[in-house]
Structure 1
Amino acid sequence: MKRWVQVLLFVLLLGMLMQCALYYNSHYPQLVLPSPQTAFTSTVDPARHSNATAEVDPCPYPFQINQPDACARATELVIVVVTAVKNFEDRQAVRETWGSYATNSSHNTTLVFLLGTTSSADLQAKLKNESRRYRDIVQGGFVDSYRNLSIKSVALLKWVSLYCNTSRFVLKADDDMYVNVPNLISALRAEKKTVFVMGHTFTGARPVQNKNSKWYTPLEDFNEKVYPRYTSGTAYSMSTKAAFLLWEAAKKVRLFWLEDIYITGLCARKAGVSLVHHGGFNYAKLNPDGCSYRKAITGHRNTAEEKRKIHKEVYDPKLVCK
């Protein structure tokens, strides 16, 4: 008898619960809690999602050393050489060679070196002395490391947008590059587009899934099969308007650690910035001589002494090239 009573009570209780559920669903809107991944279901562009409208500055760090008046005079080209604190010799070689183009006021060109922080008090003191002497050092508040290269490039876009927004063009180059600046300016002036990034472009590159590779990219970091078209990060140039649009896009596109793909691929796609391929931009090493650089715009992996040798030969009127 007791067993039947228990069954009856259970059925009655179940019926009451079902009635309560029906009443709740008919009188109250359903509450849906987003999963922790909702804001970043696409590691490429979270701003595509309706709930991801907030802008996030991927480089909120203040500049530790700054040159706010670098573009006080009329500037056609801003050269930003991406470097590391310890690379004193490379910076000096750039100043003495292709970067010296900026020392001629008639060229309307500004040269600065962008770097991050160091944990070495001695290196920092030496850097401050270098900055006082040359007034061309811009130091962001981020840790200078390979994995932070995207943050460094966002800092570049931010600095140009804040302090050199009246300039016409921007060049971003690594400190082991040699740049034929006159050839660069000729190419930039000839470009008909007004919002663009110019360099050596790549199409159809795929994320590396080999965990042993330096460029291994897990699916949670990038979930598309092919990278968007992008420009080699060794050196690329752009209109200053493009730099501003890329900085704005970086606030909406989730940070990705491969700098060239992030800035000139993902952010450029988001901002609608055109990529212009130019064969004069070489991401590989050229022979370190004047003839190799007479028609080129850039070449990679040059030591300080090679930069000096190239520069001397490029401007040697007696040099005969085949």
Structure 2
Amino acid sequence: MRVRLEEKKYVLNKDYPIIEYTCNKCLTLSLSYLINNKNVCRNDVPDKTIDILILITTVSDHFEIRQTLRSTWLNYTRKNTANVRYVFLLGDRSGFALRTSIIKENAKYKDIVKGNFIDSYRNLTYKTMLGLKWTVSFFSKARFVLKTDEDVFVNIPNILKLIYNKSEDFDKTLGRKCTSIQPVERSVSSNSYIPKSINNNDTYLPFCSGTGYISSMVLIKEIYNVSINVTFFPLEDVYIGMCAKVLGAKLKDII
């Protein structure tokens, strides 16, 4: 279910005129859940605040990496009972053995959200939007959302200090390692290759690295809602930057 912002029009500044970044309800992602762990959002203590929800993009067969994260920095979540919660975001892969393995893994840890799209690098935008859809639909009471990748170590205590000290700054800000000038990758051998048929500009709009960015739930909801009117782009961090641009949100280096 898409939660829509009513009677609000978005206009993108004309500083990147070659590509049409906005559209009229052109992004109709039929994202559904093959695995959904709504119980991650459960809060048995009424006055307890969930400060951060962490969305971690991972690859289906990277079980050992997920195990490493569970046994290291994700220990802080106390198996999703603390004021910081997390889920792993997966796409689908063919093969009975792998699918069975994911089902068993989820039965044990109950920390996976899996979508109905092929699990591939070029589908990272789908994976991230699945995470935002899940967040807005089931976990909108969290104060902040941190999106990161499976190969990143997150210092949760430092992140908590940051939001406690500057929480008001994030209502209209995406923060982390952000860039204002990034050349478009034209090498066909690169995972990030973008042909001119998709983007004829030499540089991207400003964006924050997909290795990790954080914002308030307020802005995350707006990004998800406006995404229906933002032209799909296969690089998820660039796409989120496009949504932020349409919203007039700020990007800020904070780490």
| Class of the TM-score when normalised by the shorter of the 2 chains | 0.7 to 0.9
CA RMSD, Structure 1 to Structure 2 (Å): 2.0
Give the structure 1 partner of residue 122 of structure 2: 147
TM-score (norm 2): 0.84
Equivalent residue in structure 2 for 1:257, among 214, 226, 234: 234
Larger radius of gyration: 1
Matches of residues 74-113 of structure 1 in structure 2 within 5 Å?
A: 74-103=49-78, 107-113=82-88
How many residue pairs get matched?
Answer: 232
Query: Is 2:143 aligned against 1:156?
Result: no
Contact 1:69–1:163 (8 Å) recurs in 2? no
- For 1:216 and 1:199, locate their aligned partners in 2 and report how far apart those are by CA, in whole Å: 24
Equivalent residue in structure 1 for 2:99, among 104, 124, 139: 124
- For 1:210 and 1:113, locate their aligned partners in 2 and report how far apart those are by CA, in whole Å: 30
Give the structure 1 partner of residue 172 of structure 2: 195
Amino acid at match of 1:241: V
Higher relative contact order (CA closer than 8 Å, sequence separation 6+): 2
Contact 1:44–1:222 (8 Å) recurs in 2? no
TM-score (norm 1): 0.67
Alpha-carbon spacing, 1:43–1:260, altered in 2? closer, same or farther (3 Å): same
Contact 2:77–2:85 (8 Å) recurs in 1? yes
Contact 2:178–2:208 (8 Å) recurs in 1? yes
Contact 1:43–1:220 (8 Å) recurs in 2? no
Give the structure 2 partner of residue 239 of structure 1: 216
Amino acid at match of 1:269: K
Equivalent residue in structure 2 for 1:66, among 15, 36, 48: 36
1:209-251 Cα shifts (integer Å, max 9, x gaps): 3445443322221133431111111111111111111111221
Equivalent residue in structure 1 for 2:25, among 54, 57, 69: 54
Amino acid at match of 1:127: I
- For 1:219 and 1:174, locate their aligned partners in 2 and report how far apart those are by CA, in whole Å: 27
Query: Is 2:243 aligned against 1:271?
Result: no
Contact 2:144–2:215 (8 Å) recurs in 1? yes
Contact 1:44–1:266 (8 Å) recurs in 2? no
Alpha-carbon spacing, 1:217–1:135, altered in 2? closer, same or farther (3 Å): same
Give the structure 2 partner of residue 171 of structure 1: 146
1:18-67 Cα shifts (integer Å, max 9, x gaps): xxxxxxxxxxxxxxxxxxxxxxx9644232xxxxx335333x12100001
Shift of 1:257: 0.9
Shift of 1:129: 1.0
Matches of residues 1-80 of structure 1 in structure 2 within 5 Å?
A: 43-47=19-23, 53-58=24-29, 60-73=30-43, 74-80=49-55
Shift of 1:69: 2.6
Give the structure 2 partner of residue 227 of structure 1: 204
- For 2:246 and 2:128, locate their aligned partners in 1 and report how far apart those are by CA, in whole Å: 16
Amino acid at match of 2:209: S
- For 1:238 and 1:54, locate their aligned partners in 2 and report how far apart those are by CA, in whole Å: 24
Amino acid at match of 1:165: S
In terms of mean alpha carbon deviation, does 140-149 or 203-212 score higher? 203-212
Shift of 1:157: 1.0
Structure holding more helix per residue: 1
Amino acid at match of 1:256: F
- For 2:25 and 2:31, locate their aligned partners in 1 and report how far apart those are by CA, in whole Å: 19
Give the structure 1 partner of residue 8 of structure 2: none
**Mind listing any 5+ residue stretches in structure 2 that lack a counterpart?**
1-16, 44-48
**Mind listing any 5+ residue stretches in structure 1 that lack a counterpart?**
1-40, 48-52, 281-322
Alpha-carbon spacing, 1:105–1:61, altered in 2? closer, same or farther (3 Å): closer
| Percent of pairs with identical residues | 31
Equivalent residue in structure 2 for 1:218, among 181, 186, 195: 195
Contact 2:27–2:232 (8 Å) recurs in 1? no
